[in-house]
Amino acid sequence: MNRKLIMAGSAIALAIATYAGVSFYAGIRLQSETDRAVEMLNTHLSRKWSDQVQISLDSYTRGVFTSEATYVLTFPSSKDPSIRPEIIFTNQIQHGPFPIKELLSGHVQPLMASMRTVIEPNPYTQALFGASGGQSFFDGITTIDMQGVSTLKWSARALDYTQEATRSKFGGANLLATVGPDFSSSRGTLKIESLNVSDGKSSIDLQGATIQTDTRIGSFDLNIGTSGVAIDRLTIARLEKPTLSMGKINSQLQLNEKASLLNGQVTYEIGSLKINQKDWGNISLTARYDQLDGTALKSLTDLNNSLLTRSLNISPEADLVTTADLKQFWLGIQSILKGNPGFRIEPLLWSTPEGEIRFNLKTEFGPASTPANGMGLASNPITAMTAELEVSKPVITGLISQSILNSGASAAQAKTRTDKEIKSLLDLVAQLKLGKMEGDKFVSKLTFEKDVFKVNGHAIPLEAVKAHIIATVPAAWLIEETSTTQDRPDETAEIKHLDPSVMATILTAADFNFEETRDEQGDPLLKVSPGNSGAAKIDISFIGCATDTTCEDVLLRATYSPDKPVALKVANDWNIRNRWARAYVNDKNEAVIEMDINAYGGIGHDALEAMVNTFFKIVGDFSKDLKTANKN
C-alpha cells in the first residue's frame, strides 16, 4: 500500500515538475515572441501612422506559471505640454500549454499563453479613469495558440465624460477578433453600442455601429480582403441648421491582388435619409476599380496616413499639405495611370417618395506625364468614358422647393419660385442640348472616345468644354504657375545637367549633411550623412561626368550593415513589391538599395526634388524591412 502511495505521489510530483518545466519554457518562448511582436507592431504602426505612434515594452517579469508585462503606447494627441501623452497597458499572463484559467473555462486545447490586458492610471489617463468609475476603460482577454494565432475578446466600458463644455457619452463596445502570426491577417468584429458628443451648439448621435474586417497583408503591405462598417442610426444636429438623420448605413471596401495589380470595389448604402423629419428616401453607390498599380497605390496610401497623423499634431497656423505632398500625390497618380486602370460607378442611385436619380459611369484611363513643375498632369488621362444620368422631375422640384423653404419663404412663395426655377432649368438644358425629357424623367448621356466629347450623340468641341470649365471653375484651381514660381525661373526651368550644385541645393533644402568629393573615375560624388535613416552610408554618384560634362545620369545608393546576414529573399521580396528602387546583396553580404535618375531630354527641378525625397523615404522603409527580417 505504502509502495503504491509512493509511486502515485512520485508520478504526481513528476507530472507537476514536467508541467512546471513546460510552462516555464513556454514563458521563455513567449517573452522572446513578445520582443519580436513589439518590433513588428511598431513597423506596422510606422507604415500606417508614421513614427509618431509607438509602443514599447517597459518591463517583463517572468515566473514559472505566470508573468507580467507592461507596455507604453505614446502618440502626439495631448494639447497640454505638461502631460506626457502615453497610455500604460499591463498584461497578466498565464503560460501554456494548459493555462489554469482556460481549463476552468472548459478550453482544453494547448495554448502558448492566456493574458488579461488592462490600462493603468497615469496623469494622461486620469480623466478617463474618472469617467469610467475608477476602472480600466479597456479589459481584454487574449489567447495565443502554439502557431502564434491570437484570439481577442476585449470590451470597453460605458462612460460619461465632459471636457471644455463638450460632453461625450459612450455606451460601451465589444471586440471579438483573430489575428494571424506576425499580424499577417485579421478577422473580427467590433460592436459599439452608442456614442453621443455635444457642446450645446451641435451634437452627433451614433447608435449601433459594427466594424468588421477579414483581411490579410498583401505583397504591397496593403490589407487584401474585405472590411466594412454598419451603423443603425446617425443624427447630426446644429443650432439654426437642418437636422440630418440617417439610418441603416452600410459601407464595404474590397481589395483583391493579382500579381502587381490590384482591383476591388466600394459600396455605400443609406437605408433612410431625413432632413428635419422629411423623408428623402435612400441612397446606394457601387464603385469598381481595376488595374491599379500596387506600388503606386501603396505610396498614395502612405501619403494619406501621413496627412492623417500630421493633422493630429499640427499647429492651427501651419499648412497641413506641403508642396512635397502634392508632388508625391501627382507622381503616384502618374504611376497608377501607367497600368491603364478603369473605374466604374454601377450605379449611384437616390430613391425618394417622389422618384429617383440614377447615375452610371464607366471610365478608362491611359498613361499621362507630369509637367516640369511636378504638379498636375500634362495631358488628359481619360481614353474613354460613358456616363448616363436619369433624373425624375418631381425629385428636382422637391429639392428646389425644400431649399427655398429653408431660406424662410412661405409655401406659396416657394411654389412660385420653384416653378420659375424648373422652367429656366429646362430651357437651359434644351438650349445647350444637354439632355431630353422622357415623360417626367430627364435623361442625359455623355461619351468621350478618341478625343471626341459627345452629349446625347452631339459632338461638343473640346475647346468649348475647356472654355466652360474656365468660366465656371474657381481660378485658383486652374493656375499652373503662380507669380511666385514665375519669379524663380531656376526652379521651373528644365534641368539638362545633373551637376553636384543642383543636387546640393535639394539636399540643403531638406536639411541633409553631405560632403562633395570624387570617385575613382574622377566623377563627382556626394557622401550624404545617413542620420537616422538606418543605412550605414549613402552616396550620390554622377556617372560619366569625367568624359562627358553633360552629367545626365545620377545613381543614388544606400548601403546597410545589418547585425545578422541578409537573406536574399528580403531583397527579392522588396523588388517584387517596389518599382522605384532596386535592392540586392553585395559581395560583402551588405544590403544595398539603388535608384537611377536620368535627365536626358530635361527634367523639372520640382520633379527632381520629389524623386530625391522619394529615394530617402525608400531608404527608411527598406531599413524597417531589414530590421523586421533580422528579428525573425
| pLDDT higher than 60, residue 567 | yes
Instruction: Quote the crossing angle between the two packed helices 2-49 and 605-631, to the nearest 10°.
Output: 180
- If DSSP states are collapsed to H, E and C, what string results for 501-536? HHHHHHHHHCCCCEEEEECCCCCEEEEECCCCCCCC
CB-CB contact of 394 with 354 (8 Å) = yes
Domain 492-631 has CATH 3.30.1460.70: yes
% of the chain exceeding 70 in pLDDT: 74
CA separation for the pair 594, 584 (Å, rounded) = 9
User: What is the mean predicted confidence (pLDDT) over 340-350?
Assistant: 93
pLDDT in tens, 317-334: 566 777 777 878 888 888
> pLDDT by residue (tens digit) across 439-498?
888 888 888 887 787 887 777 665 555 554 554 444 434 444 333 333 333 444 556 567
Cα separation, 401 vs 285, whole angstroms: 25
| Residue 117 in this model has a pLDDT that exceeds 70 | yes
pTM: 0.68
- Count CB-CB contacts under 10 A for residue 428: 10
3-state per-residue secondary structure call for 37-48: HHHHHHHHHHHH
118-156 as b/e: b if 16+ CB within 10 A: ebeeeebbeebbebbeeebbbebbbbbbeeeebbbebeb
Residues of the chain with CATH 3.30.1460.70: 492-631
pLDDT attached to residue 127: 80
pLDDT tens per residue across span 371-398 = 777 778 888 888 999 999 998 888 888 8
**What is the pLDDT at residue 146?**
79
Q: What is the mean pLDDT of residues 501-525?
A: 80
- Is 262 exposed, middle or buried, given 0-12, 13-18 or 19+ CB atoms closer than 10 A? buried
